[in-house]
């Protein structure tokens, strides 16, 4: 592949990326595709280049909800870098794109050999801590419109465009909300000119008015995301 889109990989030196690239494969990721099932042996780390993957978890008898979404800012498998042999939760393609699959043993080798890889893992770990705390706080706030606005804003940041290919049904499942609640909130956003909806797509037409709905939760998420976006080592030569 040419220049990687994944922000974690973009902080690596050329040598580190070449080492990993020669031992990995970048393949298409389709919406709804199961990339790893709960309890399956964990074999590959997954770095989205484009698109979004989602980690779903369910308590016995309950519908699965999203516990984490990952786009170009990160990767799936951080807790399994040093411990754990099995996937925890179902990992599915949420928005179609591409992802680099790195065998577990090879990323562990890169982690040992290259300081830039270690630093990027630690930085992403801090990012996850921050966004998970924000997600918990937002959920406790118990405002559906805020949760929906936050999810749409973060999806736009990950995809780098305003058209979010997701249905009301999928969004309600991800957030653990009733579909009617999601439809009511999106209809209100549409009447106010903030979003447009069509079959299978939510288009953010006025981001400036959507951001305040995400509140302090989104401001902190965006700040952490931008830190990942701008930390590019000066010693890394340009990608060809």
39-79 pLDDT, tens digit each? 888 889 999 999 999 999 876 567 778 888 999 999 998 87
Is pLDDT at 1 greater than 70 in this prediction?
A: no
What are the residue boundaries of the structural domains of the chain, listed by start?
9-125, 138-223
Alpha-carbon distance of 114 to 108, in angstroms, equals 10
Confidence of residue 20 (pLDDT cuts 50, 70, 90): very high
Instruction: From 193, 199, 88, 94, select the one nearest 151 (Cα to Cα).
Output: 94
Is pLDDT at 233 greater than 80 in this prediction?
A: no
Reply yes or no on domain 138-223 having CATH 1.10.3470.10: no
Is pLDDT at 154 greater than 70 in this prediction?
A: yes
Instruction: From 174, 179, 206, 169, select the one nearest 190 (Cα to Cα).
Output: 206
Alpha-carbon distance of 158 to 68, in angstroms, equals 13
CA atoms in the 13 A half-sphere facing the CB of 36: 23
Q: In this predicted structure, which of 1-10, 11-20, 140-149, 230-239 has the lowest mean pLDDT? A: 230-239
Residue 56: how many CB atoms within 10 A of its CB?
A: 20
Is pLDDT at 83 greater than 80 in this prediction?
A: no
User: What pLDDT, in 10s, does the model give residues 190-204?
Assistant: 999 999 999 999 999
- If DSSP codes are grouped into helix, strand and coil, which group holds residue 100? strand
Residues forming a β-bridge with 27: 99
Residue 86: how many CB atoms within 10 A of its CB?
A: 12
pLDDT of residue 107: 94
Query: In the numeric block, which tokens belong to residue 168?
Result: 């009301």
Contact indicator for 67, 131 with CB cutoff of 8 Å: no
Alpha-carbon distance of 121 to 118, in angstroms, equals 5
Mean pLDDT of the chain: 87
Reply yes or no on domain 9-125 having CATH 2.60.120.10: yes
User: What pLDDT, in 10s, does the model give residues 93-109?
Assistant: 999 999 999 999 999 99
Confidence of residue 234 (pLDDT cuts 50, 70, 90): very low
Residue 57: how many CB atoms within 10 A of its CB?
A: 14
Complete DSSP assignment for 21-45: HTT-EEEEE-TT-EEE-TTSBP-EE
Alpha-carbon distance of 199 to 111, in angstroms, equals 43
User: What pLDDT, in 10s, does the model give residues 113-150?
Assistant: 999 999 998 889 888 888 777 777 766 666 889 999 99
Taking CA 180 as the corner, what is the angle to CA 54 and CA 153, rounded to the nearest 5 degrees? 45
Confidence of residue 240 (pLDDT cuts 50, 70, 90): very low
The structure's pTM equals: 0.89
Of 143 and 162, the one with more pLDDT? 162
pLDDT of residue 237: 46
Alpha-carbon distance of 219 to 214, in angstroms, equals 8
pLDDT of residue 179: 94
Alpha-carbon distance of 174 to 55, in angstroms, equals 10
Alpha-carbon distance of 182 to 144, in angstroms, equals 7
Within 12-114, where are the H helices? 14-21, 104-113
Cα-flanking dihedrals φ and ψ of residue 31, to 5°? -60, 130
């Amino acid at each position: 592949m040419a220049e990687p889109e994944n922000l974690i990989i973009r902080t690596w030196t050329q040598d580190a990326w070449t080492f990993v690239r020669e031992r990995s494969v970048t393949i298409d990721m389709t919406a709804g595709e199961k990339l790893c099932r709960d309890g399956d042996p964990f074999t590959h780390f997954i770095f989205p280049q484009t698109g979004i993957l989602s980690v779903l978890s369910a308590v016995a008898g309950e519908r699965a909800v999203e516990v984490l979404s990952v786009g170009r800012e990160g990767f799936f498998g951080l807790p399994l870098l040093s411990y754990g042999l099995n996937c925890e939760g179902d990992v599915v393609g949420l928005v179609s794109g591409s992802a680099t699959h790195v065998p577990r043993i090879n990323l562990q080798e890169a982690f040992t050999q290259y300081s830039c890889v270690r630093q990027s893992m630690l930085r992403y770990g801090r990012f996850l801590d921050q966004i998970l705390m924000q997600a918990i706080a937002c959920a406790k706030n118990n405002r559906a419109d805020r949760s929906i606005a936050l999810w749409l804003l973060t999806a736009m940041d990950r995809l780098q465009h305003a058209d979010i290919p997701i249905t009301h049904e999928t969004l309600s499942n991800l957030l653990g909300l009733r579909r009617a609640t999601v439809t009511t909130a999106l209809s209100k956003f549409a009447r106010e000119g903030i979003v447009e909806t069509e079959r299978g797509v939510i288009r953010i037409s006025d981001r400036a008015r959507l951001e305040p709905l995400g509140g302090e939760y989104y401001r902190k998420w965006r700040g952490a995301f931008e830190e990942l976006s701008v930390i590019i080592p000066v010693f890394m030569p340009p990608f060809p």
